[in-house]
Structure 1
Amino acid sequence: SKRVNPVMHMNHKAGDKMYVDYAGKTLSIIEKDTGEIKEVQFFVAILGASQHTYAEASMSQQKEDFVTSVENAMRFFEGVPAAIVPDNLKSAVIKSSRFEPTINETLADLAEHYETTILPARAYKPRDKSLAEGAVKILYRRIYVHLKQKQFYSLEELNQQIWDLLDAHNHKKLTGRPYSRYELFIEDEKQKLRPLPQERFEIKYQSFATVMQNGHALLSQDKSYYSVPYQYVRKKVKLLYTKTTVEIFYKYNRIAIHPRNYKPYDYTTVAEHLASTHQFVADWSASRFIDWANNIDQNVADYIIQIIESRNHPEQAYKSCLGILNFEKKVGKQRLINACKRALDFRIYSFKAIQNILENNLDNAENEQEEEFDLPNHNNIRGKNYYK
């Protein structure tokens, strides 16, 4: 078919900008099990030139969800625009904890991964801005209204419905024009988008640690340990981690990379990292003591975790753990459980405390002696907050 060029009215350069925004009004889904109504966000992305549009519901406007939505939009358009223009997102100002990169760093990383640019909101002409807002308004009329009257029990179910309505929207002829957004996109814009990278983007978080005597660094977010080559013992290192991977850097060199392990107090160890003179005793790991304690009782496990957390190095705690858990054989399970309960109330975490409670029969709740009895006050044991 012959294209009538003057009719193809394009204010924007093809492949140039993708505008992203959230609708002011939220949608909702119903939790199947609880019947609780959860608010969900309505995300919209629109290509400047063809006005081809993508939309989806997501759980929040926080950066993890925002970045995923922006990615989903590019995957939907099957290409990367020269720039992404976020409109004044809440995500841009959500305060970061010390583990979290700011939204700006995250967006910069996303842009680098997709080889595009982020144009800060408001830095472009107000006339452009109306494009994303206009898209939100039209979608509101065409999609939103249909969704409001229905009940959805999952994000997937809601999105399926959104995408069906979206498809109709993109294929509908533009007002007073003989072509649709989709036709305009295929004709003019699709080939101007750059190809997508194969891998999806993963947010990188960072954390710092001093390598312990046993050649492992602590990822404080998960409380799990990762080995590094032995020469880095006592050195300060930086951990950069994603959902799946933990990389460890000393100065600017990467010295180790591991799959991320979410199990607290667990060790992820590469045998080559350990010096032959100091093969770390892998059996003596915190998770082993916690599992053992859990098999006795929740209170015992809580106490063992407190012991491990109150020491600077887990190894300092292992002897205490071993001693405490061995009391089960000597005094029986119930007395050990009661002693741990007592010590948890006193907030004193040591082998000696449990030993004193048992020797003085303070594990017996009826025993009134406790008023005169002083548990050892271990000033040499620094509480876990000391090290923060």
Structure 2
Amino acid sequence: MVQRWVLARLRNHRFFSLAELNRAIAGLIADINQRPFKKLQGNRREWFERLDQPALRPLPAQRYEIATFVRCVVNIDYHVEVDHHYYSAPHSLVRQPVYARLTRFGVEILHGGKRVAAHARSHLRNKHTTLPEHMPVAHRAHLEWTPGRLLNWGASVGPGAEAIVRHLLTNRPHPEMGYRACLGLLALARKYGRERLEAACQRALVVGSPTRRSVLSILKSGLDRQASLPIELTEWQSPEHENVRGPDYYH
């Protein structure tokens, strides 16, 4: 009823800004609040001051934030995906269902009705936001590794391992992108031993595939125990054939 009354009063007016329209509506609202009720004593303003106003409480110090909730499952890498970004959760919750509470500036992860993680919201697609305390102990140790330390470790294994570590760190936009593969070489050294790892790295370099996956494949198949591949250093020469014109033809 109030909406129809306001629209009727303003139907012949033109407004050129939202602020101008709001001022006009505010004047009409003050007017309608003073109009006497038809079947009750008093008016809206009087009833508000007598019944509602005494029960009002102060407004919160912070404005209310609209939030949405998304059901997620913590992946094996202890992250949940929200709008194509990955946020960490405690690693003990791997494969557990959780809820992500999304606001304009934050992401909270809830489990069992309790908040277990809080992050600043990011709109970078396919990137990770990770808190160190969410990592397993083994993953936290990885944070201590630097490119220099990885290269020194590779050199301690042998020239082949050092060359592959250097390739993994320098052939990507950022050295950090090669950390996972380099740390994978460390795991291979623990499993197969440094001698076999060095032999596999040298073989991977010879075949032109200096990657952790190639080194692992060589170790699994036992190719590192075979004789080294021969490397042809001689210059290629054209075979003699009647259809091959030879260099003298172009003089």
Q: TM class, shorter-chain normalised? A: 0.3 to 0.5
| TM-score (norm. length: structure 1) | 0.31
* Structure with greater helix percent: 2
Bigger Rg, structure 1 or 2 = 2
